[in-house]
Amino acid sequence: MPRVLITPVQFSDPDAAYFRSLPEAGMELVFPKDQRYTGDPAALARELAGIDAAIASTEPYTAEVLGASNLRVVARTGVGYDSIDVPAATANKTLVTITPGAVDVSVAETTLALIFAVYRDVVARDREARSGVWKRQAMPRLAGKTLGIVGLGRIGKTVARLAKGVHLQVIAHDPFADETAATEASVQLMDVDDLLRAADIVSLHTPCTPETANFIRQETLAMMKADAVLINTGRGGLVNEDDLYRAMCDGHLLGAALDVFHQEPTPTDNPLLSLPNVVAAPHTAGLDHQSQIDMPRIAAECVARLYRGDWPEGCVINASLRDTWTWDR
């Protein structure tokens, strides 16, 4: 009987309905013996002994971990997969799947919440009121500002739709975007440099790849308006944190809101956390009650379908294996 390891601690209920498809397909659910595997490849490799598929979070599926395993599928709960060495997975004949659509609304809502948090200075005002400080300081009006979305995929499009509802102008950069769909959504596509110069708010919704790593750095920060706002609910690797810190210390940018960091959990001595105009969150943009149901359900369905020989269209990252992959090695 194939064994499926469920690594995300928030999905540790063996009786949860979202895993029903796995035992129905004749598969056994397995949960980690030691939760300390999270950031340790060696510990993760030990958990994967005798495992055929994994319902995964952000733990490191390195080339070494994948090469030492017998994994047929790594099913990521969410849409980011930068913690998985996809070329190594492909070489190992291990499919990598994601859960498209499960987190779109949650991330989009969080993005808008973070924008408001910066523009209305929500966190500082809460702290001031609790401490008896009554500054009543005015902040810029958000309505009419220009939101620049980097990455107009499912999440980026959902952000654009919500942003229109609060009277933001929306521009976007995505070399793979559907121009017709963008036009129908009243989103203007433009070159990335032009977007950085025009946007009052830059929101990142692109995967972290060798091409996009450190997208926000000294050179791109210099293109942004002095009173612009940076929002990152994508991946920590998209932002050079040292460059962002220096730019903000120099008074460049009205503020930043970061749901993701290079190291997670980010150290409490991360200099960015010392800045009053930085809003931080613990990588929770994609989490709400509904996504907590949809992510493991879709991930489990991907594994069950692949075991039955049914390809989960739109969910497989290394789809180049489609014609040659089989469950049995």
Enumerate the active-site residues: 235, 264, 283
Q: Could you give the angle at the alpha carbon of 133 between the alpha carbons of 129 and 136, nearest 5°? A: 80
104-119 vs 289-307: helix crossing angle, rounded to 10: 150
Distance between CA atoms of residues 71 and 59, nearest Å: 15
Distance between CA atoms of residues 55 and 49, nearest Å: 15
* Residues pairing with 55 in the sheet: 6, 75
Residue from 164, 126, 127, 121 nearest 146 by CA = 164
Distance between CA atoms of residues 278 and 189, nearest Å: 28
The letter for the amino acid at 225 is K
> DSSP string covering 43-91, please?
HHHHHTTT-SEEEE-S--B-HHHHHTS--SEEEESSS--TTB-HHHHHH
Distance between CA atoms of residues 263 and 273, nearest Å: 13
Helix (H, G, I), strand (E, B) or coil at 96: strand
Tokens of 26: 């004749």
